[in-house]
Amino acid sequence: MATTYFTEDHEWIRVENGVATVGITDYAQEQLGDLVFVELPETGRTLKKGDTAVVVESVKAASDVYAPADGEITEANAALSSDPSLVNSAPTADGWLWKMKLADEGQLSGLMDEAGYKAMIG
């Protein structure tokens, strides 16, 4: 079973079998508006919690997406190169941004669950 966590910067991270999938929340994509470009991260890149991993550009602005935990990028969502709107239409499904192998799963304990995130944006 996958567990999903949320950050104060509106990223979600879903952990299943030691692999973490990261994206932006529905709230974040609504605030950004229609995405026109996603700068995907390089596979093999090591991230520290808080590092900029991805830049998403919308019709309104460019925004950084931060690593919610330390780890190494194992895959970027190549579908976003040709169809960045997937982040708008399915931010927590087909619109994921990258997958990573976590260096320290203990860092997840500092993140919010869905109820905590909804309370923050509520």
pLDDT for residue 3 = 92
**Which helix or strand (DSSP H or E) is residue 88 part of?**
helix 86-89
pLDDT for residue 18 = 81
pLDDT for residue 2 = 81
pLDDT for residue 7 = 98
Query: Tens of pLDDT along 60-103?
Result: 999 999 999 999 999 999 999 999 999 999 999 999 999 999 99
pLDDT for residue 27 = 97
Percent of the chain with pLDDT strictly greater than 70:
100
Q: In this structure, what are the phi and psi dihedrals at residue 42, rounded to the nearest 5 degrees?
A: -80, 135
Domain ranges of the chain: 3-111
Q: Is 55 exposed, middle or buried (0-12, 13-18, 19+ CB in 10 A)?
A: middle
Helix (H/G/I), strand (E/B), else coil: 47: strand
Say if residues 8 and 20 touch (Cβ distance below 8 Å).
no
The pTM score is 0.96
Does the structural domain 3-111 have CATH classification 2.60.40.10?
no
| 3 contacts: CB under 8 Å, gap ≥ 6 | 14, 15, 16, 108
